[in-house]
């Protein structure tokens, strides 16, 4: 067992994180078991997409102080174990280099983490001038190390793409799939089969041919004139294909391409429901789909067989999605899901001296936070302490001036039955809310929330309200900003950019004072994100500082790669 390292006294009060100080000592011999000074054999990078300090705070508050602790989880989270036994720092995330900005997206952030160099917004694997950059994964591959990418979103989504692809924009997901295949990433698992499946007339027949569940192979985003079959190409390149949990379990070595959904995998709320279900129907998504922690363990099993070591990136990608729609309940379940994978990695690494674990985020999403407010101010109560007297020596009751949030709120948030995405789909499967009314929203929101979070008709009207976009603000060729009729926001409307999807944030506003939660926007913030480092002390202490993601990326490269 590793000896716990000493953390410095700088405390981040909002999340109880500790920011450590210390200078790197890479010239000294580390206890990594490597033949090279200051190097490790294996490096595991875990990215909570959208996971700022605030999101970590939500997880820790629930784990430590939920009255019911409905998830029945250990009070000490995986993140806390890393903090207790390793080092914790902070990292700035904004794009730097030739085309700098204040706020980052996932593609640029992943690229900066993967390369240690500045990149461009929404670009994949490119520098500030659009030149291809070699990533830590590609460098590890050159050294003969095994490599892996795991996500609960699409394998071709921005974060995993930043480690194994080079494209001018994150939306090139078909081409990103081709790049990943060409890069020879040994283990790739997640969702997004639609960017790998060929364009065929009968997807049922294709699913049968591949021995895949129908919900995994049901469409293709590839062009009609695209004759490539990436499944065939993957097989020819030595990959074993897996489309469900049993097929994944059967692969014990070699290359593995696991695609378990057409797009994203189960969200955190659905995952919790599946995990707690007493009877799971055979052949259902609950039965077939592996979890993030199961994919992570499988990747470790396979990659660790390589005598040269490995690089593995694991993404909890839907933390970000919950943040974009300001969905606190979904966010909590995503943090719990991600922390399960962190726990598994911690346990795998705890007795080793040859592996470095870094857990961080690409950015913070939504500006989430618990906040005190003026709704339902608590009534006065009598306390027994000897300090409850006024200036004249008379006893006084305890009466807060504001509502600082009851701990029972944590359990009510956890009790949410569906994500906002699922609520939106229930109201209109096409996500066109231009002609909905209050009753539609009252019905679906109340079917999904704890009874204390139920909304009334007036709330439903505010959720259904629409805004006609002025012609000068319409961008006809834009995926989202081409919309002419959008949800009506009375605050910070310029920071809600995803058209009908942003209706989720209007739901959040109606729940806000009962959840004691406020959200700043529907995009990203530039808030520094936590960095957890666990492994050989000679390496981990350099991460306990204020740094930038390019610094963080370069430190990881220096720790793993022998040039």
SS (H, E, C) 430-495: CCCCCCCCHHHHHHHHHCCCCHHHCCCHHHHHHHHCEEECCHHHCCCCCCCCCCCEEECCCCCHHH
Q: Which of 208, 111, 195 is nearest to 153 (CA)?
A: 195
Q: From CA 300, how far away is CA 55, in angstroms rounded? A: 26
pLDDT of residue 22: 34
Measure Cα distances from 322 to 24, 83, 331, 369 in Å.
Answer: 36, 25, 5, 13
Encoded tokens for 522: 């529907």
**Residue 479 in tokens:** 């995926």
Terminal C-alpha separation, the chain? 31
Pairing of strands 524-525, 364-365: antiparallel
Containing 514, the helix (H) or strand (E) segment is helix 503-515
The 10 Å CB-count burial string (b at 16+, else e) for 177-194 is bbbbbebebbbbbbbbbb
Residue ranges per structural domain of the chain: 42-222+229-369+524-560, 372-405, 418-515
The whole-number mean pLDDT for each consecutive block of 10 residues of the chain, a chain of 563 residues, reads: 41 37 34 61 99 98 88 79 98 98 99 99 98 99 99 99 99 99 99 97 97 97 93 98 99 99 98 94 94 99 99 99 99 98 99 98 99 97 97 97 98 98 98 98 99 99 98 97 98 98 99 99 99 97 98 99 89
Per-residue confidence (pLDDT) for residue 189, from 0 to 100 = 99
- Structure confidence at residue 6 (pLDDT): 40
Per DSSP, the residues of 302-368 read HHTT-TT-EEEEEEETHHHHHHHTT-HHHHHHHHHHHHHHHHHHHHHHTT-SSEEEEEE-S-EETT-
Give the pLDDT score at 73: 58
Six token digits for residue 164: 């194994």
Closest CA to 312 of 341, 347, 283, 274: 341
Note the pLDDT of residue 142. Answer: 98
Q: Residue 78: its pLDDT value, please?
A: 98
User: Residue 141 has which token pair?
Assistant: 């591959």
pLDDT reported for residue 27: 33
CA 21 vs. chain centroid, Å, equals 27
Whole-number pLDDT of residue 26? 32
Nearest partner of 320 among 312, 307, 330, judged by Cα: 330
The pLDDT score that the predictor gives to residue 21 is 32
Q: Which CATH architecture has domain 42-222+229-369+524-560?
A: 3-Layer(aba) Sandwich (3.40)
For every residue of 150-209, DSSP letters joined together read: EEEEETTSHHHHHHH--BSSTT-HHHHHHHHHHHT-SEEEEE-GGGTS---S-HHHHHHH
- Determine the Cα–Cα distance for residues 209 and 145; give it in Å rounded to an integer: 33
pLDDT of residue 537: 95
């Amino acid at each position: 067992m590793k000896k716990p390292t000493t953390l410095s006294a700088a405390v981040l009060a909002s999340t109880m994180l500790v920011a450590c100080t210390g200078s790197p000592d890479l010239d000294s011999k580390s206890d990594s078991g490597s033949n090279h000074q200051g190097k490790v054999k294996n490096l595991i990078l875990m990215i909570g997409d959208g996971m700022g300090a605030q999101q970590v705070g939500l997880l820790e508050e629930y784990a430590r102080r939920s009255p019911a602790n409905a998830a029945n989880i250990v009070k000490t989270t995986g993140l806390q174990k890393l903090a207790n036994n390793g080092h914790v720092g902070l990292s700035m995330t904004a794009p730097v280099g030739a085309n700098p900005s204040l706020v980052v997206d996932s593609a640029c952030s992943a690229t900066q983490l993967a390369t240690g160099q500045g990149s461009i917004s929404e670009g994949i694997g490119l520098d500030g001038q659009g030149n291809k950059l070699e990533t830590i994964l590609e460098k590890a591959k050159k050294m003969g190390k095994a490599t892996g990418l795991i996500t609960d979103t699409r394998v071709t989504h921005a974060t995993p793409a930043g480690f194994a692809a080079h494209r001018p924009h994150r939306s090139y997901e078909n081409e990103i799939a081709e790049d990943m295949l060409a890069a020879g990433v040994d283990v790739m698992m997640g969702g997004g089969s639609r960017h790998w499946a060929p364009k065929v007339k009968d997807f049922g027949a294709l699913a049968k041919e591949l021995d895949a569940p129908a919900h995994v192979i049901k469409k293709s985003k590839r062009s009609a004139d695209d004759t490539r079959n990436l499944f065939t190409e993957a097989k020819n390149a030595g990959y074993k294909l897996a489309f469900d949990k049993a097929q994944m379990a059967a692969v014990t070595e070699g290359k593995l391409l696991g695609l378990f959904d057409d797009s994203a995998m189960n969200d955190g709320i659905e995952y919790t429901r599946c995990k707690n279900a007493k009877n799971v129907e055979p052949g259902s998504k609950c039965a077939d789909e592996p979890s993030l922690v199961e994919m992570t363990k499988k990747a470790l099993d396979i990659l660790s067989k390589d005598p040269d070591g490995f690089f593995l990136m694991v993404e909890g990608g839907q933390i970000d999605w919950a943040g974009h729609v300001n969905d606190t309940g979904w966010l909590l379940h995503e943090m719990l899901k991600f922390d399960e994978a962190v726990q598994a990695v911690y346990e795998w690494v705890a007795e080793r001296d040859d592996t470095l674990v870094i857990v961080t985020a690409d950015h913070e999403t939504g500006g989430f936070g618990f906040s005190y407010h003026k709704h339902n101010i608590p009534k006065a109560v009598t306390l027994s302490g000897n300090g409850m007297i006024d200036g004249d020596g008379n006893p006084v009751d305890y009466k807060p001036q504001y509502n600082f949030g009851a701990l029972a709120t944590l359990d009510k948030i956890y009790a949410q039955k569906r994500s906002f995405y699922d609520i939106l789909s229930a109201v209109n499967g096409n996500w066109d809310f231009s002609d909905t009314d209050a009753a539609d929203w009252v019905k679906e929101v109340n079917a999904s929330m704890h009874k204390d979070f139920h909304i009334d008709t007036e709330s439903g009207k505010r959720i259904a309200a629409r805004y006609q976009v002025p012609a000068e603000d319409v961008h006809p060729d834009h995926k989202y900003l081409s919309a002419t009729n959008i949800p009506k926001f009375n605050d910070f409307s310029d920071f809600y950019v995803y058209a009908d999807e942003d209706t989720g944030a209007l739901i959040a506003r109606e729940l806000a004072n009962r959840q004691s939660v406020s959200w700043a926007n529907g995009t990203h913030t530039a808030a520094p994100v936590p960095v957890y480092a666990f492994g050989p002390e000679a390496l981990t202490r350099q991460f306990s500082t204020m740094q930038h993601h390019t610094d963080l990326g370069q430190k990881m490269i220096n720790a793993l790669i022998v040039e």
